[in-house]
Amino acid sequence: MIFEASEPSSIFKHHKLTLDFGVFYFCDRFIIVEINEGIDYTWDKIEIVAMMVVEHYGNNPKLGYISNRVNSYSVDPGLWDKFHNTYNMIVASAIVSYNNLVA
């Protein structure tokens, strides 16, 4: 379920940012990210988001990051280590998935 269609969207004050590769909700202490279907979430795109985060929250923010995976997209997991070493702004992260796991 997209964040805007959920009950928490009416509870949490947020600023919505729509880019050509996804939608980003900047809440007080965390970000909810919904990347578009089929996107390759590359370092270039991550840097754009990082710049927007600094613009919104100021220098050296400490935030939670929630990936609301309503769409299928790809990302190199190694980029998150690079992101942490470069920006050091994420203090907690979560992935919300809507796929059924088969044992």
Report pLDDT digits (tens) over 29-82.
Answer: 999 999 999 999 999 999 999 999 999 999 999 999 999 999 999 999 999 899
Quote the pLDDT of residue 98.
87
Residue-level pLDDT at 70: 96
Task: Kindly list the domain boundaries of the chain, sorted by start residue.
Answer: 3-97
pLDDT at position 100 over 80: no
The one-letter amino acid at 51: M
**What is the pTM (predicted TM-score) of this model?**
0.91
The DSSP element (H or E) to which 30 belongs, if any, is: strand 30-35
Which neighbouring-strand residues pair with 23?
Answer: 18, 34
Q: Go through the chain and tell me how many residues it has.
A: 103
Listing from the earlier edge strand, what are the strands of the sheet with 14-19? 14-19, 22-27, 30-35, 63-69, 90-97
What would the mean pLDDT of 8-29 be, rounded to a whole number?
96
Please tell me the predicted confidence (pLDDT) of residue 99: 77
The model's confidence at residue 94, banded by pLDDT at 50, 70 and 90, is very high
pLDDT at residue 101 greater than cutoff 70: no
| CA–CA gap between residue 33 and residue 71 (Å, rounded) | 11
